[in-house]
Amino acid sequence: MKAIVTVMLKTGVLDPQGKAIGHALGTLGFSGIGEVRAGKVIEIELAETDAAKAQAAAEEMSRKLLANTVIESFKVEIA
C-alpha cells in the first residue's frame, strides 16, 4: 500500500514560505489570491496490506518523525 502523509503548519503559526509564494503569485499578475500555505507531502510505499494497519503505522511515523507536532499538523491517506 502507499501512505500519503501531508504535513502543514498549524493554523496560527507563521508560514513565511506561504506568505512569500502568495506575494510572488500576486506579482506575477494572478488576482484573487487569498491565504497561501505551504507544506510537505511524503509518499511511503508500505509492505503492509491491511489499510487500517497501514494508516496506524503512517500515523505513528508522522508523530515520531515526519511532522514536528509542536508546530505542524499532519494528515494520512492510504492509497
Residues lying near a second copy in the complex (CB under 8 A): 6, 8, 18, 21-22, 24-25, 28, 30-48, 57, 60-61, 64-66
Q: What angle do CA 5, 36, 7 make, to 5 degrees?
A: 15
**For residues 13 and 65, which CB has a smaller minimum distance to a second copy in the complex?**
65
Q: What is the Cβ-side half-sphere exposure of residue 62, based on CA atoms within 13 angstroms?
A: 25
77 Cβ contact list (under 8 Å, min separation 6): 3, 4, 5, 6
Among residues 31, 34, 47, 70, the one that binds another protein under rule CB under 8 A: 70
31 is an interface residue for another protein by CB under 8 A? no
Which of another protein, a second copy, none is residue 56 near (CB under 5 to 8 Å by kind)? none
